[in-house]
C-alpha cells in the first residue's frame, strides 16, 4: 500500500469532513507554531529591554554616587585651601594644619589621606599620624599638572599607589596660589579604590556582568569584577567612547567590551560635574541562558500543546482556552509585580533610618523646585542643618545610640509646622536639610530657628557636648535664591546654605544663620 493511501485512510482524507478536519488541524498547527515563535521573540525582546533599562538606571545611580564622593572630597579640599595663609603652605603652622587635616579625614571614610605640598613638592602637612621624612611628590602627575595650569578647579588623576600606605588611590587635587596668582603648592586628597570596590560589591551581578568607573579620557579607575591589573587601562577604543558618548551623555547599547571582547548590553552615564563616566554591562550570553531557562516551561507547554493538537482536535480548544487563562494570570501577576516595583522605587527615595526623604529625593526635589522657580520668579530657600558634636555623641554613647539620636532628631523635624510643599531630608550622616519653595529670607530664617529650638527643647541628653545646655543641639544655615534655570543653581544654593552653616558653627553652634549673599 502506498504512503499516500495510508495517510488518506488514517486522516480520512477521502471524506469531506476528514479533509476539513485535516485542513483545520494543519492551519491550527501552523497558527500555534507562528504564535509560539512570536511570543518567544517578544519575551526575549522584553528581556533585552529590561536589561538595557537596568543597565542605564545602574549607571546613572552610580554616576551620582561617584559625583557625591568627589563633591565631598572637593568641598574638603576647599576647606583646607581656606586654612592656607596667603603666602602659601610654607607660612602655615604645620602641626596645626596637620591636625585640621586629620580631623577632616576622620569624617570621610572613603579618603586614604589628605596632604599639603609646597612649591617644590615637599610634604608640608598630612592627615597621617606618621609621615616619613624627606618625602617629595613633585614627580606626581597631579603636581606637574597644577604647576603648569593656573586654573583653580579640582583635578582628578589616574589611579596611583600611595607612597605612604601602598594602597591604590584616586588623587583629587587643587592648586594653591599666592595673592598674585603664582603657584605655591598643591592640596591633595586620595580616594580609596577599595571604597568603590566595597560599594560596587553590594550589587547582585552575574559573573560575566561588569560595572566600570572611568575618566572621560577612557582610563579605567575601577572595573568590577576585573582584577586590579585592569586599572588605568585605556578603553578609549571602545564603542562607548568612539560612538556612544559622541551621540549622548547617557544611553544604552550592545557592543563588544574592550576589556575581554565579551558582548554585553550596556548602559552608561557621564557625570555633569566631573570628568567621570560610569558604564554597567550585562553579559548577553548569560542573559540568553537565563531567559532560555526561564522560558523552558513555556517551550514544554507549547510542545505538549502541539502534540495534543496532532492527536485530537477537541482537546485543542480546551488547551487554547487554558492557555488564554494562563496568559491572563501572567498579565495580572506582571501588573502586581509592576505595582510592587513602583512601591520599592518609592521606598528607595526614603532614608531607612529616619524615614525622611533621602539624598536622592532631596536632589530631585531641589532641582525641580529651582526649575519651577525659574518659571514663576519666586525664590527657593534651603536650610542645611548639622547635629553639634555628634562624633562625641557616638564616642560617648555608641553607634546604636547615635542611630537612635538621628531617628529622634528626624522625628522632631518631621513634627515641625511646615507646608505640604516643603521637604525635609536627611542629607547624609548627621546632616539634615529642608527645601522651602516660594520662601523669603525672613521666612527661611524663622523656620531654621524653629528647627534649632525644636531639637534643643527635645532635651536629648548629650553629656560630652561642649555647649553648656548638655543636650543635643543643631546648627543651621539658610540661603535663598531665585531660580535661573541654570545647571549651577543647585550647586549655588547648596554652597550658600553650607557657608551659612559653617558660619553658625563658627559663631558657637546651637543657632541659625542666614547667608544673604544671594
Please write down the HEC assignment for all residues of 465-482: CCCCCCECCEEEEEEEEE
Q: What is the biggest distance separating any 2 CA atoms in the chain, rounded to whole angstroms? A: 112
Whose cell is 495534543? That residue is 308
pLDDT of amino acid 380 = 93
- Backbone φ, ψ for residue 53 (5° rounding): -60, -45
CATH superfamily, region 50-296 = PAS domain (3.30.450.20)
Taking only the tens place, the pLDDT of each residue in 201-239 is 888 888 889 999 999 999 999 999 999 899 999 998 899
Say yes or no to pLDDT of 487 above 80: no
Q: Please, which pLDDT band fits residue 152 given cuts at 50, 70 and 90?
A: confident
pLDDT of amino acid 481 = 92
Say yes or no to pLDDT of 165 above 90: no
More confident residue, 303 or 285: 285
| Pick from 22-36, 274-288, 334-348, 400-414: least confident | 334-348
Please tell me the pTM assigned to this model: 0.54
Residue ranges per structural domain of the chain: 10-48+297-335, 50-296, 359-515
Average pLDDT over residues 146-168: 90
Q: How many CB atoms lie within 10 A of CB 28?
A: 17
Taking only the tens place, the pLDDT of each residue in 431-480 is 999 999 999 999 999 999 999 999 999 999 999 988 988 999 999 999 99
pLDDT of amino acid 268 = 93
Say yes or no to pLDDT of 336 above 80: no
pLDDT of amino acid 320 = 45
Percent of the chain with pLDDT over 70: 89
pLDDT of amino acid 316 = 45
pLDDT of amino acid 313 = 56
Q: Which residues pair with 156 in a beta bridge?
A: 172
pLDDT of amino acid 388 = 93
Query: Which grid coordinates belong to 222?
Result: 575601577
Q: Please, which pLDDT band fits residue 510 given cuts at 50, 70 and 90?
A: very high
**d(C-alpha 27, C-alpha 326), whole Å:** 23
**d(C-alpha 196, C-alpha 203), whole Å:** 12
Q: Is 237 exposed, middle or buried (0-12, 13-18, 19+ CB in 10 A)?
A: exposed
Sign of CA dihedral 252, 255, 258, 261: positive
pLDDT of amino acid 330 = 67
478 in Cβ contact with 497 (< 8 Å): yes
Say yes or no to pLDDT of 339 above 60: no
Q: Please, which pLDDT band fits residue 11 given cuts at 50, 70 and 90?
A: low
Q: Which residues pair with 254 in a beta bridge?
A: 265
**CA triple 44-46-48, angle to 5 deg:** 70
- CATH 1.10.3720.10: does it fit domain 359-515? no
Taking only the tens place, the pLDDT of each residue in 365-374 is 999 999 998 8
193 in Cβ contact with 149 (< 8 Å): no
- Backbone φ, ψ for residue 315 (5° rounding): -75, -25
pLDDT of amino acid 207 = 87
Secondary structure, 3-state, 84-130: CCCCCHHHCCHHHHHHHHHHHHHCCCCEEEEEEECCCCEEEEECCCC
Whose cell is 568627589? That residue is 70
Amino acid at each position: 500500500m502506498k504512503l499516500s493511501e495510508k495517510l488518506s485512510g488514517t486522516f480520512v482524507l477521502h471524506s469531506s469532513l476528514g479533509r476539513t478536519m485535516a485542513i483545520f488541524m494543519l492551519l491550527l498547527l501552523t497558527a500555534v507554531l507562528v504564535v509560539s515563535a512570536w511570543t518567544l521573540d517578544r519575551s526575549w525582546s522584553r528581556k533585552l529591554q529590561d536589561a538595557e533599562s537596568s543597565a542605564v538606571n545602574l549607571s546613572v545611580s552610580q554616576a551620582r554616587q561617584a559625583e557625591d564622593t568627589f563633591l565631598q572630597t572637593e568641598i574638603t579640599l576647599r576647606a583646607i585651601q581656606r586654612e592656607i595663609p596667603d603666602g602659601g603652605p610654607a607660612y602655615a603652622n604645620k602641626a596645626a594644619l596637620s591636625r585640621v587635616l586629620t580631623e577632616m579625614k576622620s569624617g570621610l571614610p572613603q579618603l586614604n589621606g589628605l596632604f599639603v605640598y609646597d612649591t617644590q613638592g615637599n610634604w608640608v602637612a598630612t592627615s597621617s599620624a606618621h609621615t616619613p621624612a624627606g618625602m617629595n611628590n613633585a614627580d606626581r602627575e597631579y603636581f606637574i599638572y597644577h604647576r603648569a595650569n593656573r586654573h583653580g578647579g579640582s583635578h582628578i588623576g589616574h589611579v596611583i599607589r600611595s607612597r605612604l600606605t601602598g594602597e591604590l588611590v584616586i588623587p583629587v587635587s587643587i592648586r594653591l596660589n599666592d595673592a598674585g596668582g603664582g603657584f605655591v603648592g598643591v592640596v591633595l586628597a586620595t580616594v580609596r579604590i577599595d571604597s568603590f570596590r566595597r560599594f560596587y560589591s553590594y550589587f547582585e551581578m552575574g559573573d560575566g556582568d561588569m560595572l566600570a568607573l572611568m575618566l572621560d579620557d577612557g582610563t579605567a579607575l575601577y572595573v568590577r569584577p576585573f582584577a586590579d591589573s585592569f586599572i588605568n587601562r585605556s578603553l578609549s577604543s571602545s564603542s562607548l567612547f568612539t560612538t556612544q558618548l559622541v551621540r549622548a551623555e547617557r544611553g544604552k547599547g550592545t557592543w563588544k567590551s574592550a576589556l575581554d571582547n565579551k558582548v554585553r548590553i550596556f548602559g552608561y552615564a557621564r557625570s555633569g560635574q566631573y570628568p567621570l563616566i560610569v558604564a554597567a554591562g550585562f553579559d548577553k550570553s548569560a542573559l540568553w541562558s537565563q531567559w532560555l531557562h526561564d522560558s523552558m516551561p513555556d517551550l514544554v507547554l507549547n510542545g505538549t500543546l502541539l502534540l495534543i493538537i496532532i492527536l485530537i482536535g477537541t482537546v485543542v480548544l480546551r488547551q487554547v482556552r487554558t492557555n488564554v487563562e494562563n496568559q491572563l494570570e501572567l498579565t495580572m501577576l506582571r501588573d502586581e509585580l509592576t505595582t510592587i516595583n513602583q512601591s520599592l522605587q518609592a521606598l528607595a527615595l526614603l532614608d531607612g533610618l529616619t524615614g525622611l526623604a533621602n539624598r536622592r529625593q532631596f536632589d530631585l526635589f531641589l532641582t525641580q523646585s529651582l526649575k519651577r522657580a525659574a518659571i514663576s520668579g519666586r525664590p527657593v530657600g534651603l536650610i542645611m542643618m548639622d547635629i553639634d558634636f555628634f562624633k562625641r555623641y557616638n564616642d560617648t554613647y555608641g553607634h546604636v545610640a547615635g542611630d537612635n539620636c538621628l531617628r529622634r532628631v528626624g522625628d522632631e523635624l518631621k513634627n515641625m509646622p511646615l507646608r505640604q510643599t516643603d521637604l525635609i531630608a536627611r542629607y547624609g550622616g548627621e546632616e539634615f536639610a529642608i527645601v522651602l519653595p516660594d520662601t523669603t529670607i525672613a521666612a527661611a530664617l524663622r523656620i531654621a530657628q524653629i528647627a534649632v529650638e525644636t531639637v534643643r527643647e527635645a532635651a536629648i541628653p548629650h553629656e560630652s557636648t561642649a555647649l553648656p545646655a548638655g543636650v543635643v543641639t543643631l546648627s543651621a544655615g539658610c540661603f535663598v535664591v531665585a531660580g535661573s534655570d541654570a545647571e549651577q543653581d543647585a550647586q549655588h544654593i547648596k554652597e550658600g546654605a553650607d557657608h551659612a552653616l559653617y558660619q553658625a558653627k563658627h559663631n558657637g553652634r546651637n543657632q541659625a544663620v542666614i547667608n544673604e549673599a544671594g
